[in-house]
């Protein structure tokens, strides 16, 4: 009787797993369908797309839409393609992610290991900044950038994203460092280690998981941002703004294959980051970034 029960339990478990896998595969296909449509149609000549049946594979394969989207597509006044705007995004994202991550790590270190009167209020105010909508800070930020002479420049966009991202990175590192033994910090102080030496030699080496979380979060938000880019970018607009200008262009023929290629080019960096570091993102969250 027990053997029958065990066999039944095993078969039931397999049936459940098969059902779950089928559901997951179905959802994966559903979410990958837009990527398939963009990829397939970015490799077609325009007449094949306008002729209908966007789901079919190309009859004539071509990379001309990708070349056009990258270097010759009409964006604004000049036919520059997305290349200069891609470089603007790189020049904006890399420093903004690095600065906001380092500042967030230092804030988390101070708020957990160098406690002071009112530190809870300071953390609460920084946490509150995570819930401020983008639209509320547009006018104050425009005034600040104007006074600093950074309006319409890549350094101005870097400053905007650093200021807006510090609240999130501080939250991640503060919660991660809260579980780190304070006794090790006290022992290092007894041995003569100072503020930055403790941070550099003790806390930073074990901050890999949460640093990955911070980098992925900031990179995704900054790269995909449109509102700050279109508001403060000026002549140094990022990739998302250029892609919008490409798609919304009202002159000439709508080159849908070029639009699809441009959309994939804009999505490739974040896709690459998640493929390479996605598993570390989950590990970092499980390691303490969501613990109070």
Domains: count for the chain: 2
Distances (CA, A) of 256 to 47, 50, 86, 246: 10, 9, 20, 10
Q: Which two tokens stand for residue 35?
A: 């990527």
Picking from 52, 72, 92, the residue at the C-terminal end of a domain is 72
Residues 64 and 183 in one domain: no
* Domain assignment of residue 65, yes or no: yes
Q: Which domain holds residue 132?
A: 83-286
Residues 110 and 155 in one domain: yes
Q: How confident is the model at residue 8 (pLDDT cuts 50, 70, 90)?
A: very low
**What are 34-58's pLDDT values in tens digits?**
889 999 999 999 888 888 878 888 8
Cβ neighbors of 90 (< 8 A, separation 6 or more) are: none
- More reliable by pLDDT, 9 or 46: 46
Name the CA dihedral angle for 56, 58, 64, 67, rounded to a multiple of 10 degrees.
50
**What are 184-224's pLDDT values in tens digits?**
888 988 888 888 898 898 888 888 889 988 999 999 999 99
The H helix count followed by the E strand count for the chain is: 13, 0
Structural contact between residues 248 and 222, judged by C-beta atoms closer than 8 angstroms: no
Q: How confident is the model at residue 87 (pLDDT cuts 50, 70, 90)?
A: very high
* Domain assignment of residue 3, yes or no: no
Average pLDDT rounded to a whole number, residues 149-172: 92
Q: The CATH number of the domain where 178 resides is what?
A: 1.10.3720.10
**% of the chain exceeding 70 in pLDDT:** 92
CA–CA dist 85, 99 (Å, integer):
21
* Domain assignment of residue 77, yes or no: no
* Domain assignment of residue 130, yes or no: yes
SS3 category, 48? helix
- Is the pTM higher than 0.75? yes
Q: How confident is the model at residue 2 (pLDDT cuts 50, 70, 90)?
A: very low
- Per-residue model confidence (pLDDT) at position 166: 93
* Domain assignment of residue 7, yes or no: no
Residues 243 and 181 in one domain: yes
Picking from 72, 92, 114, the residue at the C-terminal end of a domain is 72
**What are 217-265's pLDDT values in tens digits?**
999 999 999 999 999 988 889 999 999 988 887 566 788 899 999 999 9
Residue 181 gets the label, from left (phi > 0), alpha (psi -120 to 50) or beta, of beta
For the cut 50, the answer to whether the pLDDT of residue 1 exceeds it is no
Residues 68 and 87 in one domain: no
């Amino acid at each position: 009787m027990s053997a029958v029960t065990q066999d039944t339990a095993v078969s039931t478990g397999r049936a459940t797993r098969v059902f779950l896998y089928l559901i997951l595969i179905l959802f994966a296909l559903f979410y990958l369908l837009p990527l398939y449509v963009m990829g397939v149609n970015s490799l077609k000549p325009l007449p094949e797309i306008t002729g209908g049946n966007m789901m079919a594979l190309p009859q004539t394969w071509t990379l001309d839409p990708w070349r056009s989207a990258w270097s010759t597509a009409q964006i604004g006044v000049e036919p520059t393609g997305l290349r200069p705007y891609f470089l603007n995004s790189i020049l904006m994202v890399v420093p903004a992610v690095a600065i906001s991550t380092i500042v967030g790590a230092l804030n988390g270190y101070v708020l957990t290991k160098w406690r002071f009167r009112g530190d809870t209020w300071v953390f609460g105010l920084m946490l509150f900044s995570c819930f401020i909508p983008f639209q509320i800070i547009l006018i104050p930020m425009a005034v600040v950038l104007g006074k600093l002479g950074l309006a319409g420049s890549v350094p101005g966009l870097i400053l905007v994203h650093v200021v807006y991202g510090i609240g999130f990175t501080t939250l991640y590192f503060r919660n991660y460092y809260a579980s780190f033994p304070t006794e090790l910090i006290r022992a290092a102080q007894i041995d003569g280690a100072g503020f930055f030496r403790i941070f550099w030699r003790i806390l930073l080496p074990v901050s890999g998981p949460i640093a990955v979380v911070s980098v992925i979060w900031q990179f995704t938000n900054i790269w995909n941002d449109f509102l700050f880019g279109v508001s403060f970018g000026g002549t140094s607009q990022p990739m998302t703004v250029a892609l919008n200008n490409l798609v919304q262009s009202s002159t000439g023929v709508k080159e849908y294959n070029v639009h699809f290629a441009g959309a994939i080019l804009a999505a490739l960096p974040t896709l690459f980051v998640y493929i390479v570091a996605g598993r570390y993102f989950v590990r970092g969250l499980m390691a303490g970034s969501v613990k109070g």
